[in-house]
Chain A
Amino acid sequence: MDAMTLVPCLLGLVLAPLLAGIVNRTKAFFAGRHGQPLLQLYWDVFTLLRKGATYSRTTTWVFRAGPVVGLAATVLALALVPLGGIPALLRFPGDLVLFAYLLGLLRFVTVIAALDTGSSFEGMGASREVLFAALAEPALLLSLAAICLETRSVSLSVMLEDISTATWTNQGPALALVAVSLGIVLVAEAARIPVDDPTTHLELTMIHEVMVLDHGGPDLAFILYGSALKLWMLGSLLVGLAVPVRSGHPLLDAFASLGGMMLLAVIVGIVESSMARLRLVRVPKLLVGATALALLAVVLVLR
C-alpha cells in the first residue's frame, strides 16, 4: 500500500497540464473551432524551459525567487493531496492547514514578484489577487472543516478516504453545499471564469495573467506548470468529495477519480464557454457566498 501513496503525487505531476488541454478543447468545441492540441501546455512548458530569460531592470532577486519558491510550495502541496481513496504521500493530523498555507506562500511570492516590476498593471493584478484570496481562504478552510466534522478526522487523506456513497446518502445536502463552495474556491484560486479570464487580452481586466506578465523563459515555465498543478490539486479535493467510489480496489478507485478529474475539466470548459466573467466588484459577493455555503454545510453536519 505504501507504493500506492506515490500514485496521487505522480499522476498529478504527469497529468496536470493535460487538464488545461481538456478545458481548451471543450471551449473550442463550443466555439466551433478545432482548438489547440490536447498536449499544448506540455509543449509550451518544454519550449520555455529551453529558452533564455529577459528581466526588467527594475526587478531584484525577489522577482527571480518568486517562481522558484512558488513551484517548490506547489509541489509540496501536491504531495499532501490524496486522489479519491488513495492516501497522499505525506499525511499527518492537520495537513489540510499546511496545504492551505502552502497555497498562501505561492500567492505571497507571486504577488511580491509582481510588485517588484514596478508596473501599475501588475500592481493592479496583485491588489485584486490578495483581495480575492483573503475572501476565498475562510471558504476553503470552513469547507474542509465541514468534511472534518463529518468524517471525524483532521487529515486530508483520512477525510477523503472516509467519504463513501453511504456518507452521501446520510449527509447529501451538506456535502453538496461543500462541493459547491469548494468549486467556487477552485474557480477563484485557479483563476478561471467567472472570477478571472485566462484568455483576456487586455491588461486592465486581468488578474492572475497580468501578475506574471514580465516573467519569461524557465521562470514562466515554472509558473505555468505550477498553475496546472494548482488546478489539479484543488480538483482532486473536489473530485475526492464528489466521486465517492471507494471499492477498496486501488486501480478501480484511481480510474474513477481520474475520470472525475477529466469530467471536472470538461465542466470548467463548459462554464467558461457559457458565461462571461463577473464584474470585479461582484466577485467578493460570490466568495462570501461560498463562505456562507460552507458555514451552512457545517450547521447541517452538526444537526
Chain B
Amino acid sequence: MAIFLLGMGVLAASGVGALALARTRWGSAVGAGGAVVGCALALVPSLQALFGQPADPFRLPWSIPGGSLSFAVDPLSGFFLLPTLVLAAAAAIYGQEYLRASAPPGRAGGAWLWYNLLVASMALTLAAQNGILFLLVWETMALTSFFLVVFERDKGSVRRAGWTYLVATHLGSAALLAMFVLAAGAAGSFEFTDLARLAAEPGDFRGLLFLLAVVGFGTKAGFVPLHVWLPEAHPAAPSHVSAVMSGAMIKTGIYGLVRLLVLLGPPAAWWGWLLVGIGVTSGVLGVLFALAQHDLKRLLAYHSVENIGIITLGLGLGTVGVAAGMPALAAFGFGGGLLHVLNHALFKGLLFLGAGCVLHAAGTREMDRLGGLLRRMPRTGACFLVGAAAISGLPPLNGFVSEFLIYLGAFRGAVGAAGAASAIVPALATIGALALIGGLAAACFTKAFGIVFLGEPRTPAAEAAHEAGPAMRGPMVALAAACIAIGLFPAVAIRVVLPSLRLLTREFAPLAAAALADMGDTVGMIGAGALLLAAGIFLAALARRRLLRGRAVEATVTWDCGYARPTARMQYTASSFAQPLTSLFRLILRTETHARPLVGVFPREAALVTETPDAFREVFFRPAFAAIGRTLERFRLLQHGRIQLYVLYVVVTLIALIAWKLR
C-alpha cells in the first residue's frame, strides 16, 4: 500500500506544484506529468489485487471515533481503480495540450491542482475502508470536480451548471451520511470490516440502508430522475475533465452500490427489481434525451445516463440471481454490469476526448454547424467512429461483450426460472429494454458521427477545422485500441472482473464457480466470433481491392436528382435526422419548437429553433426548488440587513437568558 499512498502524494504535490508554477511554462508539464506518474504508481496495487495477492491493508489510528484511518485495495477496489487510473492518465496527457489551446493564460495551474486532487480523491474513495474516511474523500471528489466544472466561470451557463451540480451532489451526500451513521450505529464501527456484521441485521433495516445507498450513490452515478445535474455539469467542464467525470467519476457511485451490496450480505429480491427498474428507465430515457440534443457534449452526457442504466440492469439481474439462488443469472448479470463499467470508461472517455478535439478545431459543439470533419481530422474521426460503434454495442468491439453478457444472463434467467415470476419479469424487462436501447443508441451515434464527421462542412468554421496535435491524438488512439482489443480478446478482459464476481456470488460458491467457468467459455466464443468477423472484413476488403484493380474508378458529385445548385446547407442535419424519433416520443421528450414560418409570396426569412430541456428538471425539480425557495423567503423577515434590528435581537436574547438564569 505504500506505493499507492506514494502515488497519492505525487498527485497532490504535483497539483500544488502546477499551481505554484502557473505563471511559468512548466506548470502544465508538472501537473500532467505528476498525474501520469501518480496514476501509474497507484495502478500497481490494483494490478496486484487483480492478478496476484492483494497488498496488505494500511491502517493508522486517528482521533476520529469509530475506527481507524484505513485503506485497502481488494479485488473490487482494484477493478474499479483500473479504468479510473488509466482514463485519468490518458486524459491528463490530452489535457496538457487541450488547456494550452483553450485556457485563459495563468488559469491552467489551478485546473491542474483541482484535476490532480480529483484523481487522488477518486482513487482514495475506491480504496477507503472506513465510512467517515469514505465520506471525507467522497466530498473532496465532489468539491474538486465542482471547481473543474466552473473552470470557464466567466460564462453564466457554466456557473449555473456548477450550482446545479453542487446542490445535487450534496443532496446525495446527505443520504450517504444518514446511511453510514445508521449502519455504524448498528454495527458499532465505521470500519468496512466491521460493517460486514450488517448481514445479520433484520431485512427491513438492511433494505432501508440499501434505499439510502441507491439515492446517495445513484445521484453520483446519474440514475433517472437524480441525473439532472449530469447533462449540465459534464458539458460545462473542459473536455478532458468531462471524459474523466463521465468515464470514471460517476462510476464511484456504482462502486459504492456494489461495495454496499457486498457488505449488506444476502439481498432481498426487491432490491434487484428496483435496480432493474432503475436500469430500464435510466437506459431508455437517457438515450431518448440524447437523441433530442444538438450539443455534442450534452448528447454524450445523456449517453452516460443510458450506460449507467445498462450497468444497473446488469447489477440488478445479478442481485435477482443471488436472491433467487440462480448462479448463472448472478454471474452473467454482475459480470456484464461490471465489465460494462470498464468498457464505458474506455469508449466514453474516447468520445469526450474526440468531442474536445472537435470543439478545439471548429470552435463549436453544435452538431448542425459541423460536418465533413473526417477529411480534415482523419485520426480523430476514425477514433470517434470506433467509440461510436463500441457504445452502440456492436461487434467486434468491447461494448458488445458486456451487453452480450447481460443479455445472456437475462435469457438464461428467463429460461432457468421455471415459472418463478421473481426472476422472469426482470429478465424479460432487461431483454426488451436492452434491445430498444441498442437500436436507439445506434440511431443516436450514427447521427453524432454522421452529421459531425461526414458529408460537407455546414459552416466556414467547420471548413477551416484542423487535426489535433499528437498529445491529443495519442490518448484517443490508445483508448480506441483498448476498445478493439477487448472486443477481439474478451476472454483476457473478463479476468479482471472474475475476482469481484467471486466476492459477489460467495453465497453459493461451488455452483457459482461452474457458472463463472461457463461464462469464460461463452466469452471465448464471442472472441472467436469477433475474430471471424475481423477476418471476414479483411477478406471482403481484399476481394473488393482485387475486383477494382485495373478498372476505372472515377470521382463525381453526389446524386442530387439533377438539381443544379446543391449547397452544403441542404444536407440532412442532426435535428432532421432525429426528428421522426423525437416526434414519436414527444410525450416524454416535450421538445419545444420556436418557429418563424415563411409568410407571403416572396418570404424574407424564416427560422426554426427546437430545444429539449430535461423533462425531470422542468416538471419536478424546478417547481420543487421554487416551492422550497418561496417557503424560505418568509424567513427573510428575520434577516434583512438592518443593524438596529440585529442589536435588538442580541438585547432580547440577553434579557431572555438572564431572565431564565435568575428564574
Contacts and interface: CB of A to CB of B under 8 A. Distances in A.
B69 interface: no
B588 to A, nearest CB: 14
Contact of B536 (A75, A152, A219): A75
Q: Size range of the interface on A?
A: 35 or more
B216 to A, nearest CB: 32
Nearest to B438: A137
A53 B385 CA distance: 25
Contacts, number: 246
Interface in B415-438: 415, 419, 424, 428, 431-432, 434-436, 438
Nearest to B287: A134
A194 interface: no
Contacts of B442: 104, 107-108, 111, 130, 133-134
Interface string B555-575: 111111100000010111000
Most buried by B among A55, A118, A137: A118
B571 A55 contact: no
Contacts of A300: none
A57 B556 contact: yes
Contact of A127 (B428, B529, B557, B579): B579
A153 B415 contact: yes
B451 interface: yes
Contact of B454 (A67, A118, A131, A154): A118
Given A92-B522, A124-B572, A131-B584, A54 B446 contact: no
B443 A134 contact: yes
B529 A98 contact: yes
Interface string A229-249: 000000000000000000000
A146 to B, nearest CB: 10
A51 interface: yes
B459 interface: no
A60 B400 contact: no
B432 A108 contact: no
B540 A68 contact: yes
A149 B579 CA distance: 37
A172 to B, nearest CB: 20
Contacts of A92: 522, 525
A119 B560 contact: yes
A213 interface: yes
Contact of A116 (B431, B455, B557): B455
A76 B529 contact: yes
B153 interface: no
Interface residues of B, number: 77
B321 to A, nearest CB: 15
A236 B522 CA distance: 24
A58 B558 contact: yes
Contacts of A295: 432
A72 B536 contact: yes
Interface stretch (B136-144, B172-180, B337-345, B544-552): B544-552
B541 A112 contact: no
Nearest to B569: A120
Given A104-B438, A142-B431, A54 B555 contact: yes
Contact of B432 (A53, A112, A128, A138): A138
Contact of A135 (B439, B539, B541, B570): B439
A140 B435 contact: yes
Q: What is the interface of chain A mostly: helix, strand, loop, or mixed?
A: helix
A137 B438 CA distance: 8
A106 B63 CA distance: 62
Contacts of B529: 76, 90, 98
Nearest to B457: A118
Contact of B561 (A97, A100, A104, A121): A121
B374 A60 contact: yes
Contacts of A152: 415
B450 A98 contact: no
B577 interface: yes
A240 to B, nearest CB: 18
B557 A131 contact: no
A148 interface: yes
B438 A101 contact: yes
Contact of B411 (A58, A94, A115, A291): A94
Contacts of B454: 60, 62, 112, 115-116, 118
**Could you say which of B408, B436, B558 has the most chain A C-beta atoms within 10 Å of its C-beta?**
B558
B446 A111 contact: yes
Contacts of B439: 104, 130, 133-138
B368 interface: no
Contacts of B392: 104, 108
B468 interface: no
A131 B443 contact: yes
A75 to B, nearest CB: 6
Contacts of A57: 555-558
B446 A115 contact: yes
Interface in A161-207: 203
Contacts of B424: 302
Contacts of B544: 64, 67-68, 218-219, 222
B428 A142 contact: yes
Contact of A62 (B374, B400, B539, B572): B374
A72 B557 contact: no
B372 interface: yes
Given A108-B394, A115-B572, A153-B415, A145 B428 contact: yes
Interface of B: 371-372, 374-375, 385, 389, 392-395, 400, 403-404, 407-408, 411-412, 414-415, 419, 424, 428, 431-432, 434-436, 438-440, 442-443, 446-447, 449-451, 454-456, 522, 525-526, 529, 532-533, 536-537, 539-541, 543-544, 547-548, 551-561, 568, 570-572, 576-581, 584
Q: Which 7 A-B pairs have the closest CB atoms?
A: A123-B572, A134-B439, A115-B450, A72-B536, A118-B455, A52-B551, A130-B443
18 contacts: A53-B548, A56-B556, A60-B454, A92-B522, A94-B407, A104-B392, A112-B450, A118-B371, A123-B576, A126-B572, A127-B579, A130-B443, A131-B584, A137-B436, A145-B411, A148-B415, A214-B559, A222-B540
Given A94-B404, A127-B579, 5 more contacts: A58-B558, A59-B558, A68-B540, A93-B522, A101-B404
